[in-house]
Each structure stands twice: as structure tokens, then as C-alpha cells.
Amino acid sequence: MAHADRIGDDAGGGARAPDVLPPDHTQAILEVTKEVGAVLKASGCPFALVGSVAAYAYGIPVRLQHDTDFALRAEDAGTVVGLLRERGIRIVDPPEDWLVKARSGGEQIDLIFALAGRAVTTELLDRAWTLPVDSVHLPVIDPTDLMTGRLAALSEHHCDYGALLPVARGLRERVDWDRVREETRDHPMAVAFLYLLGLLGVLPHTPSNGGEEAEGRD
């Protein structure tokens, strides 16, 4: 998110404007998503949409502002990068070793090989749903994998429950919440969020007292 602009630092006591969101890039990001998706489909390499565009594909009313994210296997990165370069898409090599960044039409593209520290596998990509994304059908990460990845990525430094709540509400009937709980049991921020979903009545079936402690009682 963009940092708040300073107002009146020299006169007026250093008041600050409220945080301002970046402009809505929804249609521009969807166009880039379709462009990259066409290249990936032609490559024959398995892939799936992840992140905010995946949530959008499931009908969640998210505002697309930052980028479009694709999950693919690390072993396919060279093939995909070469095809994107042939298409005229600029590749940006980041310092991280778990993704490649690219740019097209001013929009950012992330090609991700690991989600919340877990390698993208053929099995994960095989679970993807095929959904229309602005009239083009693309594979979209399975709802349970989407929620698991988003929750596992939460930390003390990045813990925006407000952005996750509408995604959880919109996907609630399509998610295997037992699997989400199991795969995020070692992530305190994720455990707390799942407990919050229970208090809010979002989860269709929520164990009492937050989960496993209650389940283990006779």
C-alpha cells in the first residue's frame, strides 16, 4: 500500500493524510493476465492463477491494484521466461529465488515457484479449477489451496485480516476447512484467523474452543 502523503509538515503540526490506495488497475491487470495466460497455455507447462486475481475469478469482489500472480513449477521457469521474452514481455530478475517478476503494459507479473515456503508441485496444479477470467478460461488454484497459502503467509509483520475476510466469506462452501486447519496448525496468525471466522459464523463447521484442543478431549 502506498505510504500516506505528508501534509503541512512545515506549517500546521505535521498532520498526515489518510492512507491512499493505489489506483484501481482491475481491467489492465485482467488484460495482462489473459495475455500471460495465453502464453502459458500454449507452452504446455502446468500453471494456475493465484493471489488476488484467483479470488476475483471465484467471484470475490476484490479490487485489483498491484499485480497478477501465476504459480508454476520451478523446472518450467526457463521455458516460460523464454516464451514471455519472445512475446515482448520484460523479465525482471528479483533477489528472491522463489519467483520471477515480469512487466507488461505497466503492470507487474509474478511467476511463483513456492507458496508460503512450499514448492509448487504438479499435484497442487492438478487440483486447479478451470474458470472464466474476463471471458478467457484459465486454471485457478483450488479454493482450499488458495486459503491455505494466504493464511500460511501471515506473519507478525504482515497480518491483514481485513483483506482475507471477504475471501473466506466468498469461498466458505468451497473450502475444505479441516485441511486448512491441519496445514496451518503451526502458524499462530492463521490459527487466530480461523478462530475469528468461527466467532463470526463464517465457517460452516467450527470446533469449539478454536479446534484441536477440543477435538482431543474424550
Residue 14 has pLDDT above 70, yes or no: no
pLDDT at residue 216, rounded to an integer: 40
One-letter amino acid of 6 = R
Measured between alpha carbons, how far is 36 from 198 in angstroms, rounded to an integer? 38
Candidates 178, 193, 57, 61; CA nearest to 128 is 57
Give 36's pLDDT tier (boundaries 50, 70, 90).
very high
Looking at residues 48-62, what average pLDDT do you find?
Answer: 92
pLDDT of residue 217: 36
Using the CB atoms, write b or e for 142-155: b if 16+ within 10 Å. Answer: bbbbbbbbbbbbbe
* Helical (H) or strand (E) element with 178: helix 177-183
- pLDDT tops 70 at residue 138: yes
